[in-house]
């Protein structure tokens, strides 16, 4: 099968050939010619034109040609549907569609600037989209680096939780656990009085007016709100256990975390995580 499109590809005209070669026809040939010659050469060679106005494989409303390929060929791989808005955002300059769209555009523009031969450009583009596909399929929850503080805290937590047989846990272990936990998230050991004094503001005045400037919440409720907000982020973006998340957000234990979370959110943290994961799966499908 032969395909043909405009020369000097950047986004759609690299993403679509990758899709063709990887999921539709591994033996396909892709031709790049001046825009004015696409339809003429398509008629002469029998190649299928794409990503130009007036042909079947093109943009429709706010969707790009990559979207049409997915629909036309009934490609249901969830990873491809993760990639679709990234390509669409990069191709239409709507980088709000996906966090990765701006990066894809920058890389693609730089690639086209550096490489003048379109077939060589396609070869490099295939490498990029293979990598993007692997990320979408296997690595979305991976972080480049874990916060050093989080890593250290979790190491201490796991050491503390390891069975020790009949050996008595030294008192300093408990004290260290408490000291580290006290430092999690915004120095939660600080009292409102200490905070006010550090700002050289009357503590009674701060206490009386705190709710006015902090979401109509008391100091304690505001701190709990911050803890829950961080917990929500960790539930959605990491694979940490509930015990680890409770520890990282300053709760005394998992049961305390679960009780406060349910009071604030109306459901258990485990149910929240399952619901969010199901929502992501449904969206991708």
Is residue 174 pLDDT above 60, yes or no? Answer: no
pLDDT at 89: 93
186: confidence class by pLDDT, cuts 50, 70, 90: very low
Is residue 196 pLDDT above 70, yes or no? Answer: no
The strand pairing partners of 31, in sequence order, are: 4
The strand pairing partners of 4, in sequence order, are: 31, 49
pLDDT at 239: 84
d(CA 117, CA 140): 32
Any idea which of 170-174, 183-187, 205-209, 239-243 has the lowest mean pLDDT?
183-187
Average pLDDT, the chain: 83
Per the listing, tokens 């997915």 go with 70
CA-to-CA separations, 252 to 78, 84, 96, 184, 216, in angstroms, rounded? 39, 42, 38, 11, 25
In tens, the pLDDT along 120-152 reads 999 999 999 999 999 999 888 766 655 555 665
pLDDT at 74: 96
pTM of the entire structure?
0.55
In tens, the pLDDT along 65-112 reads 999 999 999 999 999 999 999 999 999 998 888 889 999 999 999 999
* Assigned token pair, 167: 């050996």
Q: Where are the alpha helices (DSSP H) in 62-114?
A: 65-72, 78-91, 101-114
Q: CB burial class (10 A; 0-12, 13-18, 19+) of residue 34?
A: exposed
d(CA 104, CA 10): 10
Q: In what order do the strands lie in the sheet with 2-6?
A: 29-33, 2-6, 48-49
d(CA 261, CA 236): 14
CB 173 within 8 A of CB 160: yes
pLDDT at 189: 46
Secondary structure class of 115 (helix, strand, coil): coil
Of 10, 23, 89, whose CA–CA distance to 51 is shortest? 10
In tens, the pLDDT along 7-58 reads 999 999 999 999 999 999 999 999 999 999 999 999 999 999 999 999 999 9
185: confidence class by pLDDT, cuts 50, 70, 90: very low
Looking at the chain, which residues constitute the CATH 1.10.10.60 domain(s)?
148-284
pLDDT at 192: 65
Length of the chain: 285
pLDDT at 220: 75
The terminus-to-terminus CA distance of the chain in angstroms comes to: 28
* Assigned token pair, 193: 């009085």
Q: Which CATH class name applies to 148-284?
A: mainly alpha
Of 197, 179, 196, whose CA–CA distance to 250 is shortest? 179
In tens, the pLDDT along 204-250 reads 777 777 777 777 887 777 778 888 888 898 898 888 889 888 888 87
């Amino acid at each position: 099968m032969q395909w043909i499109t405009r020369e000097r590809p950047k986004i759609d005209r690299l993403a679509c050939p990758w899709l063709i070669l990887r999921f539709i026809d591994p033996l396909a040939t892709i031709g790049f010619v001046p825009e004015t010659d696409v339809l003429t050469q398509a008629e002469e060679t029998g190649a299928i034109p794409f990503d130009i106005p007036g042909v079947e494989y093109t943009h429709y409303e706010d969707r790009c040609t990559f979207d049409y390929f997915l629909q036309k060929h009934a490609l249901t791989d969830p990873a491809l549907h993760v990639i679709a808005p990234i390509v669409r955002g990069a191709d239409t300059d709507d980088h709000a569609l996906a966090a990765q769209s701006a990066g894809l555009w920058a890389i693609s523009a730089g690639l086209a600037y550096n490489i003048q031969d379109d077939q060589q450009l396609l070869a490099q583009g295939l490498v990029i989209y293979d990598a993007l596909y692997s990320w979408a399929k296997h690595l979305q929850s991976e972080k480049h680096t874990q916060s050093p503080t989080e890593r250290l805290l979790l190491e201490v937590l796991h050491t503390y939780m390891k069975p020790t047989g009949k050996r008595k846990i030294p008192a300093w272990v408990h004290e260290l656990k408490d000291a580290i936990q006290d430092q999690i998230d915004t120095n939660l050991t600080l009292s409102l009085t200490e905070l006010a004094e550090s700002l050289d503001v009357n503590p009674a005045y701060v206490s009386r007016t705190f709710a006015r400037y902090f979401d109509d919440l008391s100091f304690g409720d505001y701190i709990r709100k911050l803890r829950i907000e961080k917990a929500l982020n960790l539930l959605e973006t990491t694979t940490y256990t509930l015990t680890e998340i409770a520890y990282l957000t300053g709760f005394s234990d998992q049961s305390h975390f679960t009780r406060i979370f349910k009071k604030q959110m109306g459901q258990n943290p485990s149910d929240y995580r399952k619901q969010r994961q199901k929502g992501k799966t449904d969206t991708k499908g």
